[in-house]
Amino acid sequence: MPSLLTRALLIAIALLIGLVTALAAGILARLGGTSYTDAVTRGGAAFIVTTPLAVLLMDAAGMLTPQ
């Protein structure tokens, strides 16, 4: 059974995955020639999609649910 601290660390890892994805998407969009606002928008969209997806995958794998 995962403790509260373990679950908090897993959520923090999911947030870090989202942040890295957002930064990569923003940098790649900017290198592709988009404006700063469009690059920020693309990075934000990547963060919004990736973070819950990482949490859902962890939950589906049984990492977050007590057994």
> What confidence tens digit (pLDDT) does each residue in 3-25 have?
888 889 999 999 999 999 999 99
pLDDT of residue 26 exceeding 90, the answer is: yes
**Dihedral over alpha carbons 48, 49, 52, 54 (to 10 degrees):** -130
pLDDT of amino acid 3: 85
| Token duo for residue 22 | 């957002």
pLDDT of residue 1 exceeding 60, the answer is: no
Is residue 54 within 8 A of residue 18, CB to CB? The reply is yes
pLDDT of amino acid 2: 64
User: Please, where are the H alpha helices in 1-67?
Assistant: 4-31, 36-60
Domain residue ranges in the chain? 4-60
pLDDT of amino acid 65: 80
| pTM, rounded to two decimals | 0.85
